[in-house]
Structure 1
Amino acid sequence: MAQAQSVQAQAEGAATQASDIVVTGSRVATAVNAPTPVTTVDTEQLAASSPTTIADALNQLPAFANSQAPTKGGSSLYGGNFLNLRSLGPGRSLILLDGQRLPTTSPAGSPVGFVNVDWIPAALVKQVDTVTGGASAAYGSDAVAGVVNFVLDHDFEGLKGEAQYGITSRGDNQNYKFGLSGGGSFADGRGHVLFSFEHAKSDELNGDPKNRPGKAPRDWARSGRGLIPNPNAGPGQPAYITIPDLRVSAFPLGGVVLSGAAFGTTFTPDGASAPYDFGTNVSGAVASGGGGYSPAPGIPLANGLTRTSAYGRVSYEFSEHATLYATLMYSRGNNAAGIGHAFTALISPSLSLSVDNAYLPDDVRTKMLANGEQAVIIGKRFDQLRAEQNNTAERMSLGGDGEIAGNWKWQAHVQRGRVTSETILDGNFDTINFAKAIDAVRAPDGTIVCRSTLTSPTDGCVPYNLLGDRPLTTEQRAYFQPTQEYRGKGSQVTAEASVSGPLFSTRAGEVSIAAGVGYRKEKLKQFTNQLAGLTNPFTGLPGAWAFLNQPALAGSFDVKEAFAEAQVPLLSDLPAVRSLDLNFAVRYSDYSTSGGQTTWKAGAVWSPVEGVRFRASKSRDARAPSVTELFSPSSSGFAIVRDPQNGNQSVPAIPVQSGNAQLMPEVGKTFTAGVVLQPSFVPGFAASIDYYRVKITNVISTLNPQQTVDQCAAGSAALCDLVTRDPTTNAIVSIRTPFLNLSSLRTSGIDFDVSYRRNVNFGSQGGILNLRLFATYVHDLVTEAPGSPAFDLAGDVGFGNEGVPHWTGLGSISYETGPWAFQLQEHYVGGGTVSNALLSVRPGSKNEVKANWWTDLTIRRSIGTFELYGTVANLFDQDPRSVATASISGPTNYRLYDTLGRRFVAGARFKF
């Protein structure tokens, strides 16, 4: 289970047994506590609730709300587990392995610059330390939100293994994993070798490929509530209302006429015309009920994931002055999921059918001729797009450590990481060939051909009947729906050397320092087929694919760094000052793309009496732009947005994203203050309460299309320049969302960690009782763009899966007696608003979402060197909260809630 312990509490106990303690968040090896809050989860706690991955265990902690993972579902291209500390984005959390930076492992075609933690050798992890404050001065760029350091057990001796199987109570989302790890000494204990292997697979959980009404993997996912402009808005009426059974009204499977005299004519599966029901409360592209497309059933609740990872390490102690080591890591993963549907109207409104189209029913053609119409626009959707990602990551490191003179120590390492990936999309459209295929006419001999074939008989065009619901032929798929591929290669080279030791002693203790230098180089190349780099002749936008046009990319940068840290015991053994320790750190980084950047940290720990410690820290942190953010060419996709300039109607639009070579590093300022309590008069009790405040300026981000449109309407002229409208109708055509240094991003809140452990007796049977409560209160999570009002996502649980509730928590009670262990765990996601941007909705459909709870039960039984275990997750089969949405993102917030329902896990472990 991903319960947490205060590392300060552990360090205090350990300080009586060892002279040097290395605490994540500090480079100085000392028994003095660091001022920055650090949460530690040990290996037993990680494994207690039988998670499929180590990320699944960590994501139970409230500080990791909004992490991106295959088990969290939703339509996305994220092919792995990306930790999101403080909901500030995965790119702002630095991921370390034994204190060393890991290379980024995002797949091609998705956001690059994140680290997929699936490839970490989970079986060898001794503990996971999470620094919940800025740590750039200690570890470098990306540690704006904090650091997650996976610490391996380098001294492990023996052999251990695990096998586990899981399935939901509905018989779906089957998953399993197995692994084997070992370690041993050689050369009379001077050498040591470690190895680990793990393989895991989890089935995809998705709705019917065509999203027929009601075909969904869960009852709650059959339909979603919608949030639309009130058609009766006015004095005394709310601006927005919620509607049941949200449908995308303009895109039935058979197609519907969206213009002219035949407006509202739909088509049966064989292409015959019929009247169409657009539903009620129609708002642009969405409505309540009717014959339209319900996005809810087909959104994945879990992506299919297969992964294999291996790790090896060998070390040899040549003398007390030098121990050298070499490590190898390898991981391969496959991720598969549905990511949305294709719509002709989203490709371009100009893709219409001419009056002489060979497939038009006679009654529709007659209406067009009677009204002098030359073409009609057809709205239609197709089968779900499918994405498959294959990613391979490799890492090799060489390093060493040892003593120099006296108590001084040295450390050095060099590593090279390499990532290759491919993203394969099925179901996307070559819009150029598609436009030719639907422009079908009668040839002089009466056969149906593409109009282009009449003038170019060898053009290979395959005609297609847009009207009706027929499966595509092999020839049609090959012509206008070929496989779309992206391939990427990334590499990272790092080198670092440091020394640490005492400078001098004072009455309060030794003044210790650490200092070092480092170098890092990042490279990325991304390849794709020609269509992504073409200019679409129908839209004038980059890319001829209907969706996900990402042209080839190549770029690199390097950084040279120097850093230092000092730990200063100031006072000790005085009245009201049992100890007072100061900590200072500074780092200078010289980036090839943006020049020099200085980061620093200052902190203090004051213990007035035994069992009470107050701590505070302040830091200046930085995150440099990634290769993707700097060098990505323009690419286009699709979106549905509310348009304030057109009555807040929901309308289709084409977002265009691009990199920005002029980006500057983000700058974060973090303040933390808290107290750690371990009163001696309550043995087994420990508590920590920490306040945090993070403000990031020069934020590197892209506003989503809706935010761009909303903030333009709120008065941001700079963002209005990014919205392109039709000069005649004023309808939105495209929305540019480049990477920008936006004004600011800030968050603040309080972390709570309370635990109690004691021996108890029930009759003649003794045991150990553990109680723990871990909670986070998020006061604000605010983004602010130039010329726009601040927008707070704290307490917003429905806004594009980006907000967080004010309160989240994890509580547990466990009891161990003899060979048995029992654990009950409670998850809590607080209530909030549908959207903080919406001040009022229809009475009876309030702008609020209630809190959500779910419970896990785990039982373990030890039999000699074996342990058998079973877990029932979401014991009472609690559904996620329904969240009304103003888009087509689905009926709930997939990142916050448990969407899989009750599920069972059983497994066995052994250790020799």
Structure 2
Amino acid sequence: MLLVTTALSGLMAGAIQTAPVPPQQPVAPVAAAKSDPDAYELDTVTTTAPRLRGSVNSDIPPDITLTAEQIQAYGASNIAELLSYLEPVTRSSRGRADGQPVLLVNGRRISGFREIQGIPPEAIERMEILPEEVALEYGYRADQRVVNFVLKNDFRSLTAELSGRGPTQGGRITTEIKGNNLNISGPTRWSMDAEHERSSPLYESERDIVRERVTGDPGTEDIGAYRTLLAQSERSTVRGAYKRDLNSTTQATVSGSLEDRSSRSFNGLPGVNLTLPAGNPYSTSPGNEPVFRFLDAPNALGRETDSLTGGLGVLFDGFLGESWRWTLSGNYDRVETDTLTSRGFSRDPFQSRLTANDPTADPFGALSPADFNRLADDTANSVSQVLATELVLNGDVYRLPAGGVSSTFKFGADTRSLDSTSLRDGQTTERSQSRDRFNGQANFSIPIASRRQDVLPALGDLSANFNVGYEELSDFGGLSTFGFGLNWSPIEPLSLNISYTDENGAPSISQLNDPTISTFNVPVFDFRTNQTVLVTRTDGGNPNLNADNRQVWKAGFNLKPWSETDLRFSSTWTYSLTEDAIASFPSLTPDLEAALPGRFTRVGGALTSFDARPLNFERFERQDIRTGFNYSRAFGTPNPTAAALPGGARPPGIPGGGMPMRVEVRTEGGGAGGPSPGGGGGQVRMGGGGGRGGGMQPGQGRFNLSIYHTWRLQDEILIAGGLPVLDLLDGAATGARGGSPRHEIQAQGGVFRNGMGAFVHANWRDGTRVDGGTGPDINFSDQATVNLNVFIDLNSRTSWVGKFPWLKGARVNLGVQNLFDSRPEVTSSAGGVPLNYQSDYLDPQGRVVSLTFRKILF
């Protein structure tokens, strides 16, 4: 606590000592350094240009650019953690799911996320976040945003980290240890990562859960002590990557990873339904009497899952002639998963004794599992494999007065297979599915007007792009993609864009062929009977899925009103229509059961099981507007003496000590046109260390703030023709937390100075409801959650390091997830709260506190 108080007081003291930042000096043209081993000479004329080393090869500007000091303010330990903090500004509403953005390094494609996810943020010189249209220029679909990491040209570190976290309510502890070794020396980079994480189980009895009298559970036993809310889990991972130049124009990268995961969960005590015949010594009624009993065998309804994931990726990247770049990549990934599900006991042996009126068979006495037959376990094994290769070509196909017509061509092929074997209730099912795919894509960006080239300057900068794609699947035939867009900057501070995409997508082979798995004693709320019941849920693949068709319109703007102030406003409207939409099975509601009665099984009106395998909906239709701003500024009085820390180290977040930047671009033919295709991949050089106008000077701090509001105008599902439309904004639901909130606000703020920082992420979502039809309505209140991360680089506390030298290079993070322990508040129109909607059931952890010690060994 003393550490946190010291850090916060230092930040507050710095925040009130603000002063204007001296403007950066004008940049003068300089000659390219002949000794630069990364330089690729396209011609002999050198000019200055605004495109920086490592920038993407696109005329579309970044929506957000983060400098090294801004990145430091997040207090992340590696790129994977940094991306999780930046999720509000990297998400896309155009994708089929909330997937990860396209990731680039120094403006180039990478061999896979494994190549960079363990890299420490200290190695990042700057970070650019760009719109989805830029993904097309790198051979991807326009349904993911693009994040480009520009790494420092010379960096070495060995980092170790130990962390522990757990909810303030107790009951679950997670420990993690990880290490990273990174070496960047010009064009050569290699890294190694190792991680191990372990989490203890969390049981229902460790939370304030009020269990109703449910079907099959008369409440005579505390089965909550035998049911896990969160499974026990363990994970071990190793990763590595190596990149180097093969010659003056070509680089190669190889990366690999291996991960072992296991988990174990428990679904309560097994129960048996017995029939006590009339005339039995223990009978209390003239007829047959039903008796339900739990057996003391918690392992008999457990589940164990083990998976082993391995991957290998290679990538070659280079230039053809003076204006074409090529990238050839290959990947192999394999995932093997084993699942064991215990099914409980058969009543037969003991029931036979009751039927024979055996006086030693007391159904109301202590029952031993040995009196019953243990049912054979269900097992499932699946092996998924992917072997893929892609060739991407990028360059100018024609020269127009406003600039070159940039083009991207992608050709790819892959083969995928999923083999599964499942044993359910003694019956073995073997399934095998494979898919061979050949695909091609072409994208063209056409400049129409250009201020820099003095072509129709009254229009500003205007360009158009269009793309076409086709893929041939061995099991689904041909699927096509088409799209176009306009990018317009009528004045320098403002950029506008509009785009349209029409694409067809096939279900994944896991959606088609995952092994069938049954989970017993799953509690669900039955709206028809107004009860929580224990049912059997069936998951797996659905071989009858069809391909879908997705159409997306997008229009937005990005505004930077003052060139000397790091303030940006943006707003994006997105409309998507998906026909034959492939979806996971949504929450159980009366509307869903009415539309899909074959997916539900009832006995005597009581729900006993449901089939949750994926399916095709007739149509998804969604529309939203996302608006927000990002603001960042330096504060505090510059202190030149802070530029030199003990040992000659630079202050965190000040690459190169904040020197002015020199950018050198060799242009084709000695003209004054823009940089040749390939942007920061060896053609653009930066000298002087990477400072930036308005950047943080030695002794200063940095403040970041971003707020985004999402307004959902439409979110509707039509399950099948002839059925009513389900409005997720008004009573329909697909998830455990009700429908879609009409309004949602995400806010982030961070401050960093002198090695100390704090980062806050807040999220508020509007309330929703579930229309219960003839049953009760379920109402979800609005909810706000706040996450806090406070950290201190102990290098900045010179007196501490002097007294305890082992603290050199160390950092301590204190994190609090859900700071105010906000929980979903759910009410029912019938009164009370069903089990599935109780706060501790929806959010078993609540407030979670973590403490991390991180040390850069060198």
Match of 1:201 among 188, 197, 201: 197
What is the number of residues matched between the two proteins? 723
1:249 — aligned with what? 214
Task: Note closer, same or farther for the CA distance 1:156–1:788 as it changes in structure 2 (3 Å cut).
Answer: farther
Counterpart AA for 1:829:
W
Counterpart AA for 1:501:
G
1:317 — aligned with what? 245
State yes or no: 1:441 paired with 2:353.
yes
Shift in Å, 1:415: 1.7
Instruction: Give yes or no for contact 1:248–1:294 (8 Å, CA) kept in 2.
Output: no
Task: Note closer, same or farther for the CA distance 1:596–1:830 as it changes in structure 2 (3 Å cut).
Answer: same
**What is the 5 A alignment of 1:684-723?**
684-704=566-586, 706-707=588-589, 710-713=591-594, 716=595, 719-723=596-600
Shift in Å, 1:784: 1.8
**What is the 5 A alignment of 1:524-535?**
524-529=418-423, 531=425, 533=427
Deviation readout 1:100-122 (Å, 9 max, x if unpaired): 7999xxxxxxxxxxxxx899732
Match of 1:816 among 737, 747, 752: 752
Matches of 1:40 and 1:476, distance apart in 2: 68
State yes or no: 1:429 paired with 2:343.
yes
State yes or no: 1:166 paired with 2:164.
yes
Q: Which runs of 5+ in 1 are unaligned?
A: 1-12, 24-28, 65-82, 104-116, 224-244, 257-289, 346-350, 450-464, 535-550
Shift in Å, 1:589: 0.5
Q: TM-score, normalised by structure 1?
A: 0.68
1:387 — aligned with what? 303
1:789 — aligned with what? 724
Matches of 1:55 and 1:804, distance apart in 2: 28
Matches of 1:495 and 1:702, distance apart in 2: 29
Matches of 1:838 and 1:641, distance apart in 2: 17
Shift in Å, 1:406: 1.6
What is the CA RMSD across the aligned residues, in angstroms? 4.5
State yes or no: 1:366 paired with 2:243.
no
Instruction: Give yes or no for contact 2:538–2:610 (8 Å, CA) kept in 1.
Output: yes
Matches of 1:387 and 1:517, distance apart in 2: 43
1:807 — aligned with what? 743
Deviation readout 1:709-762 (Å, 9 max, x if unpaired): 53353xx4xx23444555xx4555554455432112233223334222223237
Matches of 1:891 and 1:798, distance apart in 2: 18
State yes or no: 1:741 paired with 2:619.
no
Task: Note closer, same or farther for the CA distance 1:559–1:905 as it changes in structure 2 (3 Å cut).
Answer: same
Please say which of residues 898-907 and 649-658 is displaced more in the overlay: 649-658
Deviation readout 1:827-884 (Å, 9 max, x if unpaired): 1222302425579969xxx834133232414132251772423223148542312334
2:812 — aligned with what? 869
Shift in Å, 1:587: 1.0
Matches of 1:891 and 1:494, distance apart in 2: 45
Matches of 2:847 and 2:779, distance apart in 1: 25
Shift in Å, 1:516: 2.4
Counterpart AA for 1:910:
I
**What is the 5 A alignment of 1:203-602?**
203-207=199-203, 211=204, 215-216=205-206, 221-223=207-209, 245-252=210-217, 256=218, 300=229, 302-338=230-266, 340-341=267-268, 344=271, 351-355=273-277, 362=282, 365-367=283-285, 370=286, 372-373=287-288, 376=290, 378=292, 380=294, 383=298, 385-425=301-341, 428-429=342-343, 434-441=346-353, 479-480=373-374, 484-529=378-423, 531=425, 533=427, 551-573=429-451, 574=456, 576-602=458-484
Matches of 1:417 and 1:558, distance apart in 2: 15
Q: Which runs of 5+ in 2 are unaligned?
A: 1-26, 28-46, 640-698, 797-807
Shift in Å, 1:643: 5.8
State yes or no: 1:33 paired with 2:60.
yes
Instruction: Give yes or no for contact 2:114–2:255 (8 Å, CA) kept in 1.
Output: no
Shift in Å, 1:175: 2.2
2:631 — aligned with what? 756
Task: Note closer, same or farther for the CA distance 1:148–1:154 as it changes in structure 2 (3 Å cut).
Answer: same
Shift in Å, 1:395: 1.6
Instruction: Give yes or no for contact 1:250–1:292 (8 Å, CA) kept in 2.
Output: no
Instruction: Give yes or no for contact 1:129–1:151 (8 Å, CA) kept in 2.
Output: yes
Instruction: Give yes or no for contact 1:801–1:894 (8 Å, CA) kept in 2.
Output: no
Matches of 1:119 and 1:884, distance apart in 2: 47
Deviation readout 1:636-661 (Å, 9 max, x if unpaired): 445566667x6556555545556443
1:859 — aligned with what? 791
Counterpart AA for 1:173:
I
1:18 — aligned with what? 51
Matches of 2:483 and 2:86, distance apart in 1: 26
Counterpart AA for 2:591:
D
Please say which of residues 395-404 and 595-604 is displaced more in the overlay: 395-404
- 3-state SS of the aligned residue for 1:776? strand
Shift in Å, 1:44: 7.6
Task: Note closer, same or farther for the CA distance 1:559–1:47 as it changes in structure 2 (3 Å cut).
Answer: farther
Deviation readout 1:612-641 (Å, 9 max, x if unpaired): 111121112343212232235665445566
Instruction: Give yes or no for contact 1:195–1:310 (8 Å, CA) kept in 2.
Output: no
Task: Note closer, same or farther for the CA distance 1:17–1:493 as it changes in structure 2 (3 Å cut).
Answer: same
Counterpart AA for 1:906:
T
2:177 — aligned with what? 177
Matches of 2:131 and 2:363, distance apart in 1: 54
Matches of 1:400 and 1:203, distance apart in 2: 39
Task: Note closer, same or farther for the CA distance 1:591–1:15 as it changes in structure 2 (3 Å cut).
Answer: farther
Shift in Å, 1:807: 3.5
Q: TM-score, normalised by structure 2?
A: 0.72
Counterpart AA for 1:562:
G
Instruction: Give yes or no for contact 1:614–1:674 (8 Å, CA) kept in 2.
Output: yes
Counterpart AA for 1:511:
V
Instruction: Give yes or no for contact 2:523–2:534 (8 Å, CA) kept in 1.
Output: yes
Counterpart AA for 2:783:
A
Please say which of residues 312-321 and 514-523 is displaced more in the overlay: 312-321
2:689 — aligned with what? none
Counterpart AA for 1:853:
T
- 3-state SS of the aligned residue for 1:710? helix
Shift in Å, 1:47: 7.5
Matches of 1:754 and 1:380, distance apart in 2: 57
Task: Note closer, same or farther for the CA distance 1:416–1:447 as it changes in structure 2 (3 Å cut).
Answer: farther
Match of 2:824 among 875, 878, 881: 881
Matches of 1:626 and 1:859, distance apart in 2: 42
Matches of 2:702 and 2:525, distance apart in 1: 56
Instruction: Give yes or no for contact 1:162–1:909 (8 Å, CA) kept in 2.
Output: yes
Deviation readout 1:247-296 (Å, 9 max, x if unpaired): 143444xxx5xxxxxxxxxxxxxxxxxxxxxxxxxxxxxxxxx7687869
- 3-state SS of the aligned residue for 2:416? strand
Instruction: Give yes or no for contact 1:798–1:883 (8 Å, CA) kept in 2.
Output: no
Matches of 1:662 and 1:822, distance apart in 2: 53
Identity %: 16
Task: Note closer, same or farther for the CA distance 1:121–1:481 as it changes in structure 2 (3 Å cut).
Answer: farther
Instruction: Give yes or no for contact 1:414–1:494 (8 Å, CA) kept in 2.
Output: yes
Counterpart AA for 1:700:
I
Counterpart AA for 1:18:
R
Matches of 1:521 and 1:773, distance apart in 2: 43
